[in-house]
Amino acid sequence: MPKENSSGLDTSVPATSYPSLSAVACSFDRDLVFELGESLGAEAKAAGVDVLLAPGVNIKRHPLNGRNFEYFSEDPLLAGELASAYIRGVQSQGTAACLKHFSANNQEFCRMINNSVIDERALREIYLKPFEIAIHEAQPWTVMSSYNKLNGTYTSEHADLLSKIARDEWGFEGLFMTDWGGMNDRATAIPAGTDLEMPPVGQFGVRRILKGVRSGAITENDLNRAVGNLLELIAKLRGEREPSKTWQTADFETVSKKLALGSAVLLKNEQELLPLPANADAAVIGMLAEKPHYQGAGSSLVNPLRVVSFLDALREENLGWEYARGYTLGARQDQRLAEEAVELARRKRLVLFFAGLRDIDEAESYDRLHMDLPAAQNSLIEKITSVNQNVVVVLQSGSPVRLPWLAKVKAVLLVGLAGQMTGAASLDLLLGRANPCGKLAETWAFAAEDAPSHSQFGGRFSNQYRESVFVGYRYYQTFQKAVCFPFGFGLSYTSFRVDNLELNRSSLAPGEDLEVSVRVINTGSRAGSEVIQLYVSPPASAIFRPRMELKAFEKVVLAPGESQTVRLKLRHSDFAFWNTSLRAWHCEAGEYRLLVGTSSADTPLEAQIAVETNLPEARVPNYTETAPCYYAYGSGALRVSAEAFEAVYGASIPPDPQGEPAEYDLNATMWDARESLRGKLLAVIIKKFGTKTALGGGEFQEANERIIDASIMDAPLRSYILGGVPIKVPEAIALLLNGKVFQAIRKLLEKDKT
């Protein structure tokens, strides 16, 4: 259990640390993700946990989002399909899954109050789609609303989002809960569809409900629905759980390693340097081989049963590969360590360099500042490649990073945040006991500035999603922007050929399905798996559309020389876009191209299908005159003006409230007051007491300190009650910020009502 006076961020009931969802998504493997969910559901049940607060399916809009390691993909189909498998696995064990964060939580800066400004089409096609898929396919027992506002309305108060879309349109049957501290106004949230505020906030919450009832804002029907959904969840958890299964700790650990093996992505393998023989004349360099970066920091932090580093794995197998630390994980570096590493590299035939981000670099509550690895690692890799031409880099990262030395190393193996068995899995992959056959679930751009959302990301309260539907590969492929590694990319220790593309029909009418078949052959000498990816490319249209969109995928495992026919099914609706004029899915008639291959940049097979429309009289929106930038296909960049975005958004862009507010209230932040003398003094005091009561030390203390700092500075004052602070304290802080000192003192002297 958490230590006294601790946030619990780094101390909790010991459990298995599985690979993060950013790693798991690279498996493209529904069965493997189901197994993960099944294991998590069983382990949660054994620990007395009723609801697992996962999976997160928020779209990776920008590579610097601090919480990207918790999310699956930039692609809504991949995220939705894998989330569905995860949910089914968790709930097969009688544990509730909680699909989150609903919706458009795509940055951590001021996440509890920022406003995601998204045009309706992008919202439907990109940001809501994974939730829609998961609700249709897996029916999670709970869904968690996000902290942020969506087009000006807090998601916990968004009746269109919670009730009209999720319940009435998609058929969601479960319970809506808030994120922790995500309740702004109960009198608005409960009628909108929110059933449960988390965590409980004592009499303060009760008083807010009673106030809403007395005013008539909350009706008896609203309360009956909310309480009824909660009672139904309790009954389901108690009555529908299967009998206990014979899961052992070793089984969970085996699943964790299996996931790590199935999720690794081979990014480069020049001259087939990998896999290595066990007797390789190898040097192991990098502190991450000794102290791995295996999970992100924040509320998802797991207190692992054990962690197997790469050095642990070497010792277990008595492999005598020499090790040099090379660098430290802190800010201060030891030049002697670097010199020792270079000298060791000079004496060996090849080098295994363990590189990656640090625990402090990837965390909930704050965003990354850049895409770079720590400077000490990049510098050391450059020095080592100057004395040894056979360098293999093993990457531990939950998000894309820049690789300035990529051309100088022979091989790069991305293991991601691989969980507690990261070292053992890495050794098996490097020795060829397992074949790394994962595929990137997000595009790796050359720089953060390449992302089409970059100018509108971070450091602002109102985030304009000016790129609209051009997210990830949808942008890079359509505008022909070069990338380091494309979506869906991944090498292997074997080779494959894909041929014999066939369709079961030449035209497709509403209500009909299309079957696409393709043959895959393992043409190499090792067993391995390949992911067949089917993209749809639309005909020319008055509406701007991505050049290609993933609409089906399948992973196949083949022995050397083995072949298999893969059958992929498309529905008529897979060819549709969201028509904002009709507020409906609209499939234009025309010849659509089907592109089949093994990544978004490698689709050698192509066929055409004539698709009939589902709405013969429908008008297609046309922005060629009001927003021509969206049609600049192939130009290498998407630059959207405020005027163009307003045309697509369909309304004036809401202002971004910067600077001190005229009046501080419970939704204000200490960040608002960062320039004022009162704000600076109060921030020092609050940080002193907040950090003292929240931190418990431990392995992730530096990351936790930044999380606590962000929670104090960027979160609304109302959220302070999450730390057990009486509501009168943030109310008094607001009064002090407004210069009302005596009123603040009276407020603090009031009898505590919480």
Greatest alpha-carbon pair distance for the chain in Å reads 82
Contact 415, 396 (CB under 8 A): yes
Phi/psi at 54 (nearest 5 deg)? -170, 160
Give ∠ CA 720-59-648 in degrees, rounded to 5.
100
Pick from 191, 91, 180: nearest CA to 134: 91
Residue 3 Rama label (left phi>0; alpha psi -120 to 50; beta):
beta
3-state SS, residue 724: coil
Determine if the peptide bond prior to 277 is cis (ω within 30°): no
Place of tokens 């003398």: 677
Classify burial at 541, counting beta carbons within 10 Å of its beta carbon; exposed 0-12, middle 13-18, buried 19 or more.
Answer: middle
- Rounded CA separation 486/479 (Å): 14
> Distance (Å, rounded) from C-alpha 607 to C-alpha 574?
16
Give me the residue label for tokens 């625990």.
359
Q: What is the DSSP letter of 231?
A: H
- For the chain, the first-to-last Cα distance in angstroms comes to 25
179: annotated active-site residue: yes
Q: Where do the H-state alpha helices sit in 200-248?
A: 202-215, 220-239
Of the candidates 10, 29, 119, 179, the residue annotated as catalytic is 179
Q: Residue 469's closest CA among 369, 576, 376? A: 576
CA pair distance 179, 416, nearest whole angstrom? 27
- Tell me the β-bridge partners of 226: none
Q: Nearest CA to 56 among 17, 34, 25?
A: 25
Q: Which amino acid is at 399?
A: S
Question: Rounded to whole angstroms, how far apart are CA atoms 67 and 117?
Answer: 19
User: For the packed helices 728-737 and 677-694, what is the interaxial angle rounded to 10 degrees?
Assistant: 160
What does the chain come to in residues? 754
Three-state secondary-structure class, residue 529: strand
Cβ 503 vs Cβ 514: under 8 Å: yes
Strand-pair category, 577-579 with 584-586: antiparallel
**Closest residue by Cα to residue 267 from 381, 382, 78, 406:** 406
How far is the C-alpha of 15 from the C-alpha of 253, rounded, in Å? 10
Q: Could you give phi then psi for residue 558, rounded to 5 degrees?
A: -135, 140
Question: Measured between alpha carbons, how far is residue 424 from residues 28, 260, 388, 521 in Å?
Answer: 22, 9, 26, 30
Residue type, 633: Y
* Beta-carbon count within 10 A of 453 CB: 25
> How far apart (Å, rounded) are the C-alpha atoms in residues 490 and 266?
6
What is the C-alpha separation between 487 and 553, in angstroms, rounded? 13
Residues 717/166, Cβ–Cβ less than 8 Å: no
Catalytic residue numbers, as ranges: 179
